[in-house]
Amino acid sequence: MKLAYWMYAGPAHIGTLRIASSFQNVLAIMHAPLGDDYFNVMRSMLERQKNLPKVTTNIIDRHVLTQGSANKIIRNIIRKDKEESPKLILITPTCTSSILQEDLDNFIKKSSLETNADVLLADINHYRNNEYQAADITLKQIIHFYIKKYTNSKISLTKEPSVNIIGAYSLAFHNQHDILELIKVLTELNIKINLILPKGASIEELEKLPKAWVNIVPYRETGILAAKWLKENFNIPYISTTPLGHENLAIWIKELEYCLKSKGRVNLNFNNFIENKTTFNSQSFWFSRSIDCQNLIGKSAVVFGDSTHVAAITKILKKDLGINILWAGTYCISDQNWFKHTLKEYTNNIFVSENYSVVEKLIKIASPDAIFGTQMERHVGKKLGIPCGVISAPIHIQNYPIGYRPFFGYEGANQLIDMIYNTFSLGMETILLEVFGGHDRQVTETASFLNKGDIYWTKEAENIFAQIPKIFQKKIKHKIDTYAASLNKTIVTPEILYKAKASLTK
Amino acid sequence: MKTLVQNKTNSYCETGNYHTFCPISCVSWLYQKIEDSFFLVIGTKTCGYFLQNALSVMIFSEPRYAMAQLEEGDISAQYNEYSELLKVCLKIKKDRLPKVIFWIGTCTTEIIKMDLESTAKKIEAEIEVPIVVANANGLDYSFTQGEDTVLAALIKKAPLRKNKSLNTTPQLFLFGSLPNFISTQLSLELSKQGIKVAGWLPSSKFTQLPSIAPGDFVCGVHPYLSRAAYTLIRQRECRLIIAPFPIGPDGTRAWIEKICVTLGYSISGLKEREKQIWNKLVSYTNKLEGKTVFFTGDNLLELSLARLLTSCKMKVCEIGIPYLDKRYQAGELELIEKICKEQGIRMPKIVEKPDNYNQLDRIREFQPELVITGMALANPLEARGINTKWSVEFTFAQIHGFGNSENLLKLITRPLSRTQHLVNT
């Protein structure tokens, strides 16, 4: 049993539902008690979905506990098949159904005799997989099932170089914009898109999946299992670099070049493309060299989120902008070896934790100039008065913008730099406002503040003290008082003040 | 509609395949109401995920609730539930110093048959903090019924007023969680009729739970508190005043009247008071008059709201409701029947345990001008040109008493005003 207030990654069935509802003609049936269909609310609210939910529930109630759900679930599968005629009905176990230990697989076999749709049971374990892992497993499972079902003849590659993008999901962080940006880059490189998975794809299209030359898995958390399986079975190479920021983009394009070369396009060379894009087309490359960015050098930040975004953004903060990374962390425990390995050259402090209070504590200890994290870190930042840029899920509705806000590609790099710069400059602004006493200038009444305690301050000392920026006053007052006390003085004169300063700045 | 099974005139039962909040959501308003409490939900990640998303920003203000998240070892009984819960409760006691800890049992604790009641007794003695156990699970209850189970459990902890000789006249207690501001307002309305409210369940502090004696009168303020009501009748031998609920000017007046009549007080100035409120609301009722409304049902407030909207001369197509307790809601049922008769219209159809999918068919057929429904269907329906009002808002907004009538009608007319605004500009 674990005392928990908040979690970064959701339960397994959420991952499965995100995959199922991303496909065009898949219907998911949760085997769950009343009230567990909150997923539909999230989709309708966060993504502002116009479509009626494609997730329904086979409700577990008291009768199910006594009689089992066999008849009910079979009836529901057949009913949904008739009502909505999907291609695939995916049955999703939940935490409750996991402990009932019913033979769901058997019910599915029975019902699939009477349905037009294929019926599958998501192969997830509620107590071992989280949202991202479950999504990864489910996507692979669906791909596996349909490729086995469809492929009987020999598959040939497309004539022109083409790729599959495995990484378009519902309810993912800025995903829709990221995918558009990837399409843009690939189109400019004259590479065809064979299939984008799973969002928007229909089940029949999975047949042509093995025709692509290369698979692209832009997010580490979900898609890798499918890509690995396709590599093993169809020898399709895959790229798991995240195309976020200039350097990663360049690596990503070079990897693409390499993969295509290995498939026979020996004359390809994307170097010019990369150079052109970086130096002329993109603003962010120049921005990090402009005068404003000098001010960012040496500023400190902490970064937390999923491994994909933290790894890529930490690199940009450190390498492009010279920001001192006090620590970087992720909640993706299953991917921690990769995470630690990738980040070791950018910061000395790397950690993996699912516990938000640990993250909060570490933010407090580090007290950085800015935080880059999830919705949770944003609130911690608010509490501590530290600005925060949101770079990763979990997120709330304001992070599903309707404007074009990619993180990937060259436009994504621009957007990201804006976000980073604004986060820091807002922080700077607040500090300056404090130094100059806020928007409405007031004469500081130092007397009341200084002469509280055992030590008396003279008028002259007070006047000198008033020139110190306000935000430092409390701290400095304490130090001077302690200094005076150490000399057995009860009155602070200008003389003592300067002496204290000299001794403190030694 | 062959899936509809008719129970009585105009009352049907469907498949129960509908969207609603999990009853554990009641912790969100109950921890705010009971200021010295801590709510521990004993469940899985699914429960936690629901809470943190449904309550969104509340999570960030260090709420006095948490999950005792069950792991595989808890399910397979490798871990001992007593020592696990003791560990968690000791931590809560140390960090938060609550005067009471509520344990909220969930589907999982129910299925693996965790004996929370007896474990609570042992741990209570160990940590010297009272523990109240309530099973607010999705196997048995929906949404607001969570409060019902918590209140029923809380009533068992309320002190008994033993010394009968000191106080022989029966007193009036009201039950149902309301923000203090609203409960005071309702108490004041009754005091205008000369009636003193001896106490509320829940009180704003656990340590100040009212003491109830056998023979005392009790009256509910929410339509979803039937369990709490029966606990008061059976275990505390209270007398339940069955009245309509104080929602809307008509409901509030009927509620006060019923209490006055039962306790033998004469009624003064209520009719005028109601009229006065209605007069203030003309701009809203004008907007509603003649329009059609459909309740898909998810929070048990549906009957009271449908009654209010019938008073506003709306036509109610269907009242979907998770569960209708015909005895506890008898006052409300009577009132809506009376209003329908006065207006010469038929009693609207009540659908218990509705089926959202079939309801969508009926919505397509009726094309109602307003659908009161959950968030899962709200945006898709709006996209299909149907005005919707998000039903959960009625649970969290202040809707009780004369004073909040305007607030309530504002909520209901908002989608219509928005549409009108979009058409006109």
Q: What is the pLDDT of residues A3-13, one digit of tens each?
A: 988 899 999 99
Cα–Cα nearest to B383, from A48, A55, A38, A37: A48
A7, A53, A62 ranked by CB distance to B45: nearest: A7
How close A132 gets to chain B, by Cα (Å)? Answer: 14
The pair of structure tokens assigned to A25 is: 């003609």
Mutant choice from B22, B24, B26, B45 vs A, greatest count of A C-beta within 10 A? B45
What sign does the CA torsion over A179, A182, A184, A189 have? negative
Q: How high does pLDDT run on average in chain A?
A: 89
DSSP letter assigned to residue A295 = G
What is d(CA B257, CA A149) in angstroms, rounded to the nearest whole number? 70
Number of domains in chain A: 4
For residues B416 and B309, membership in a common domain is answered with yes
For residues B80 and B201, membership in a common domain is answered with no
Q: Give the contacts of A15 (CB within 8 A, at least 6 positions apart).
A: A124, A129, A130, A131, A132, A133, A134, A135, A136, A137, A138, A222
Mutant choice from A38, A55, A131, A360 vs B, greatest count of B C-beta within 10 A? A38
With bands split at pLDDT 50, 70 and 90, how would you rate the model's confidence at B33?
very high
Which of residues A259, A280, A301 is at a domain's end? A280
Which of residues B87, B117, B137 is at a domain's end? B137
CB A244 within 8 A of CB A407: yes
pLDDT of residue A292: 77
Amino acid (one-letter) located at A433: L
The answer to whether position A100 is within a domain reads yes
For residues B372 and B298, membership in a common domain is answered with yes
Q: Helix (H, G, I), strand (E, B), or coil: what is residue A450?
A: helix
The answer to whether position B13 is within a domain reads no
Average pLDDT over residues A125-145: 94
pLDDT of residue A437: 57
- Does A49 contact B360 at a Cβ distance shorter than 8 Å? no
How close A272 gets to chain B, by Cα (Å)? Answer: 46
What is d(CA A327, CA A187) in angstroms, rounded to the nearest whole number? 37
Q: For position A482, which CATH number holds?
A: 1.10.8.550
For residues A263 and A243, membership in a common domain is answered with yes
The answer to whether position A263 is within a domain reads yes
The answer to whether position B324 is within a domain reads yes
Which residue of chain A is at minimal alpha-carbon distance from B63? A5
For residues A251 and A361, membership in a common domain is answered with no
Taking only the tens place, the pLDDT of each residue in B260-318 is 999 999 999 999 999 999 999 999 999 999 999 999 999 999 999 999 999 999 999 99
For residues A167 and A85, membership in a common domain is answered with no
B22, B71, B376 ranked by CB distance to A1: nearest: B71
Who has greater pLDDT, A15 or B7? A15
With bands split at pLDDT 50, 70 and 90, how would you rate the model's confidence at B245?
very high
Q: Diameter of chain A by CA atoms? A: 95
Q: Give the contacts of A369 (CB within 8 A, at least 6 positions apart).
A: A299, A300, A301, A386, A387, A424, A427
Taking only the tens place, the pLDDT of each residue in A300-359 is 999 999 999 999 999 999 998 999 999 999 999 999 999 999 999 999 999 999 998 899
**Confidence check: pLDDT of B17 > 50:** yes
For residues B205 and B304, membership in a common domain is answered with no
Cα–Cα nearest to B404, from B288, B251, B289: B251
Average pLDDT over residues B172-179: 96
What is d(CA A264, CA A159) in angstroms, rounded to the nearest whole number? 11
CB A96 within 8 A of CB A60: yes
The pair of structure tokens assigned to B140 is: 């048995």
Taking only the tens place, the pLDDT of each residue in A260-309 is 999 988 888 999 999 999 888 788 888 888 887 787 888 999 999 999 99
Any CB–CB contact under 8 A between B23 and chain A?
A: yes
CB B407 within 8 A of CB B397: yes
The pair of structure tokens assigned to B21 is: 């909040």
Which residue of chain B is at minimal alpha-carbon distance from A94? B46
pLDDT of residue A455: 82
The answer to whether position B2 is within a domain reads no
What is d(CA A169, CA A201) in angstroms, rounded to the nearest whole number? 11
With bands split at pLDDT 50, 70 and 90, how would you rate the model's confidence at A445?
low
The answer to whether position B150 is within a domain reads no
What sign does the CA torsion over B39, B40, B45, B46 have? negative
For residues B251 and B276, membership in a common domain is answered with no
pLDDT of residue A436: 64
Instruction: Please report, rounded to a whole number, the percentage of residues in chain A having pLDDT higher than 90.
Output: 63
The answer to whether position B200 is within a domain reads yes
The pair of structure tokens assigned to B198 is: 């001896």
For residues A321 and A460, membership in a common domain is answered with no
For residues B300 and B344, membership in a common domain is answered with yes
With bands split at pLDDT 50, 70 and 90, how would you rate the model's confidence at A439?
low
- Does A1 contact B45 at a Cβ distance shorter than 8 Å? no
pLDDT of residue B6: 57
Q: For position A189, which CATH number holds?
A: 3.40.50.1980
The answer to whether position A446 is within a domain reads no
Residues of A in Cβ contact (< 8 Å) with B386: none
For residues A84 and A192, membership in a common domain is answered with no
Average pLDDT over residues B401-412: 94
H or E stretch including B172?
strand B172-175
The answer to whether position A152 is within a domain reads no
For helices A12-22 and A131-150, give the axis angle rounded to 10 degrees.
40
pLDDT of residue A481: 85
For residues A339 and A422, membership in a common domain is answered with yes
Q: Give the contacts of A327 (CB within 8 A, at least 6 positions apart).
A: A302, A303, A347, A349, A350, A351, A362, A366
B53, B68, B377 ranked by CB distance to A42: nearest: B53
pLDDT of residue B2: 45
Q: Give the contacts of B143 (CB within 8 A, at least 6 positions apart).
A: A35, B20, B21, B22, B23, B25, B298, B299, B300, B322, B395
H or E stretch including B65?
strand B65-69
For residues A400 and A264, membership in a common domain is answered with no
For residues B100 and B53, membership in a common domain is answered with yes
- Does B379 contact A48 at a Cβ distance shorter than 8 Å? yes
Amino acid (one-letter) located at B361: D
Who has greater pLDDT, A153 or A199? A199
Average pLDDT over residues A37-45: 91
**In terms of residue numbers, what domain contains A496?**
456-505
Which residue of chain A is at minimal alpha-carbon distance from B64? A5
**Confidence check: pLDDT of B415 > 80:** yes
For residues B36 and B86, membership in a common domain is answered with yes
Amino acid (one-letter) located at A489: K
CB-based burial label for B123 (10 Å; 0-12, 13-18, 19+)? buried
Q: Helix (H, G, I), strand (E, B), or coil: what is residue A63?
A: helix
The strand pairing partners of B400, in sequence order, are B247
The answer to whether position A257 is within a domain reads yes
CB B202 within 8 A of CB B220: no
The answer to whether position A146 is within a domain reads no
Range list of β-strands (E), A17-112? 26-32, 55-59, 88-93
CB A122 within 8 A of CB A89: no
Query: Which ranges in B223-295 belong to alpha helices (H)?
Result: 226-236, 248-263, 270-280, 282-288
Edge-to-edge strands, sheet with A2-4: A2-4, B65-69, B37-43, B100-105, B131-135
The answer to whether position B18 is within a domain reads no
The pair of structure tokens assigned to A296 is: 């960012």
**In terms of residue numbers, what domain contains B224?**
172-263
Q: Helix (H, G, I), strand (E, B), or coil: what is residue A28?
A: strand
Which residue of chain B is at minimal alpha-carbon distance from A50? B380
Burial B299-313 (b: 16+ CB within 10 A, else e): bbbbbbbbbbbbbbe
For residues B359 and B252, membership in a common domain is answered with no
For residues B417 and B276, membership in a common domain is answered with yes
Residues 112-141 of B with CB under 8 A from A: 112, 137-141
For residues A322 and A401, membership in a common domain is answered with yes
The answer to whether position B155 is within a domain reads no
Q: How high does pLDDT run on average in chain B?
A: 92
With bands split at pLDDT 50, 70 and 90, how would you rate the model's confidence at B3?
low
Burial B34-53 (b: 16+ CB within 10 A, else e): bbebbbbbbbbbbbbbbbbb
**Confidence check: pLDDT of A420 > 70:** yes
How close B416 gets to chain A, by Cα (Å)? Answer: 19
From A390-394, A465-469, B174-178, B330-334, the region with the lowest mean pLDDT:
A465-469
Q: Diameter of chain B by CA atoms? A: 70
Amino acid (one-letter) located at B241: I
For residues A310 and A242, membership in a common domain is answered with no
The pair of structure tokens assigned to A368 is: 């950085």
Q: Please state the φ and ψ torsions of residue A267, each to the nearest 5 degrees.
A: -90, 0
What is d(CA B308, CA B242) in angstroms, rounded to the nearest whole number? 18
The pair of structure tokens assigned to A199 is: 């969002």
- Does A94 contact B46 at a Cβ distance shorter than 8 Å? yes
CB-based burial label for A391 (10 Å; 0-12, 13-18, 19+)? buried
What is d(CA B333, CA B341) in angstroms, rounded to the nearest whole number? 12
Catalytic residues of A: 292
Taking only the tens place, the pLDDT of each residue in B41-54 is 999 999 999 998 88
Mutant choice from B14, B19, B20 vs A, greatest count of A C-beta within 10 A? B19
The answer to whether position A3 is within a domain reads no
For residues A402 and A351, membership in a common domain is answered with yes
How close A172 gets to chain B, by Cα (Å)? Answer: 15
Average pLDDT over residues B164-173: 74
For helices A224-234 and A131-150, give the axis angle rounded to 10 degrees.
30
Which of residues A280, A306, A326 is at a domain's end? A280
Q: Please state the φ and ψ torsions of residue A52, each to the nearest 5 degrees.
A: -65, 150
For residues A202 and A119, membership in a common domain is answered with no
DSSP letter assigned to residue B195 = P
Residues of B in Cβ contact (< 8 Å) with A57: 17
- Bond before B380 cis per omega within 30 degrees: no
Which of residues B137, B163, B184 is at a domain's end? B137
Range list of β-strands (E), A110-177? 118-121, 162-168
- Does A52 contact B138 at a Cβ distance shorter than 8 Å? no
For residues A308 and A398, membership in a common domain is answered with yes
With bands split at pLDDT 50, 70 and 90, how would you rate the model's confidence at A503?
confident
Which of residues B86, B115, B137 is at a domain's end? B137
CB A71 within 8 A of CB B404: no
From A430-439, B108-117, B125-134, the region with the lowest mean pLDDT:
A430-439
For residues B274 and B418, membership in a common domain is answered with yes
pLDDT of residue B201: 94
- Does A65 contact B20 at a Cβ distance shorter than 8 Å? no
With bands split at pLDDT 50, 70 and 90, how would you rate the model's confidence at A70?
confident
| Complete DSSP assignment for A208-262 | GGGG-SEEE--SSSSSHHHHHHHHHHH---EE-----SHHHHHHHHHHHHHHHHH
Radius of gyration of chain A (CA): 29
Cα–Cα nearest to A248, from A189, A312, A162, A333: A312
Number of domains in chain B: 3
The answer to whether position B14 is within a domain reads no
Cα–Cα nearest to B317, from B287, B342, B297, B332: B297
- Does A62 contact B52 at a Cβ distance shorter than 8 Å? no
Q: For position B50, which CATH number holds?
A: 3.40.50.1980
Instruction: Identify the residue whose tokens are 């949202």.
Output: A131
- Does B139 contact A126 at a Cβ distance shorter than 8 Å? no
Taking only the tens place, the pLDDT of each residue in B201-213 is 999 999 999 999 8
- Does A96 contact B91 at a Cβ distance shorter than 8 Å? no
The answer to whether position A144 is within a domain reads no
Which of residues A129, A149, A173 is at a domain's end? A129
